Amino acid sequence: MNKLPLIPVALLLLFAFSCGDNSYTPKPTAYPRTDFPEKEYETFSNDCPFEFEHGVYTQITSANSTENPCWMNIDYPFLKARIHFSYNKVDNDLNKYLEDARTLVYRHIVKADAITEDEYINKDKRVYARVYKLDGNTSSSIQFYATDSANHFVRGALYFNARTNVDSLAPAIAFIQEDIWRIVESLEWVD
C-alpha cells in the first residue's frame, strides 16, 4: 500500500481548516477620554470673610448648612467631582481644626499607597496652607487647609461621584489639583 497520496491530502485538509481566523484577541482596558476645558479663573466672593479664584467651569453652591453659612461645594459637573469647602472662625481653637484636618486625611491611610504633603506660605497675605495628595484608590484624592493662624480656617476635600479607580481618574485629579493650588494661592482674607 502506498502512503504517499495520504500526505498531500492531509496537508491540503490542514491548510483548508487553518485559513479561517476564528481566534479572539481581547483588547486592553481603556478609559473614556475626557476633554478638559481651557483654564480660566474668576474671583469668588460673597458675605464670607475670604475670597479666592476658581475655574469658570465650576459651580459653587451652598452646602445648606444653617449653622455654617460659609460652607460650600465647588462642583465640576463634567467630571462628576466636588470639592467640599468649609470655613470656621478661629477662636483660640486653631489646634483643634489643624488636628481635625490631619485626622480626616490620615483616615485614608488604609487605602492610600502614599500621602504627600506640600506646604504653601504667603506671609504678605497671611495664608499658611497645606495640600495633601493621597495616592491610591482612596475616596478622596486631594485635601487641603489654609489659615491665617489667628482668625480664619478653611478646609477642602475632593471627592468623585464615581467608583474609585486611580488609573481612570488620574487625568481628572491632575486637572483639579491645578485648580486647588489656584484656590490656595489666590486665597485672601476679608476682614
Read off the pLDDT of residues 66-78 as tens digits, 9 standing for 90 and up: 788 899 999 999 9
**Who's near 7: CB < 8 A, 6+ residues apart?**
none
pLDDT surpasses 80 at 18: no
Whether 13 is covered by a domain: the verdict is: no
DSSP 38: P
* Contact between residue 128 and residue 98 where contact means Cβ atoms under 8 Å apart: no
Q: What is the pLDDT of residue 1?
A: 53
Closest CA to 80 of 175, 146, 144, 145: 175
Q: What is the pLDDT of residue 188?
A: 97
Question: pLDDT tens digits for 86-116?
Answer: 999 999 999 999 999 999 999 998 889 999 9
Count how many Cα atoms sit within 13 Å of the Cα of residue 62 in the half-sphere of its side chain.
10
Whether 98 is covered by a domain: the verdict is: yes
What's the predicted TM-score (pTM) here?
A: 0.81
Whether 97 is covered by a domain: the verdict is: yes
Whether 103 is covered by a domain: the verdict is: yes
Whether 164 is covered by a domain: the verdict is: yes
Q: Cell numbers of 163, please?
A: 467608583
Whether 178 is covered by a domain: the verdict is: yes
Whether 36 is covered by a domain: the verdict is: no
Give residue 61's domain range: 53-189
Whether 58 is covered by a domain: the verdict is: yes
**Who's near 59: CB < 8 A, 6+ residues apart?**
74, 75, 77
- Measured CA to CA, the distance from residue 148 to residue 75 in angstroms comes to 25
DSSP 36: P
CATH number of 106's domain: 3.40.1000
Number of domains in the chain: 1
Q: Which helix (H) or strand (E) holds 55?
A: strand 50-55
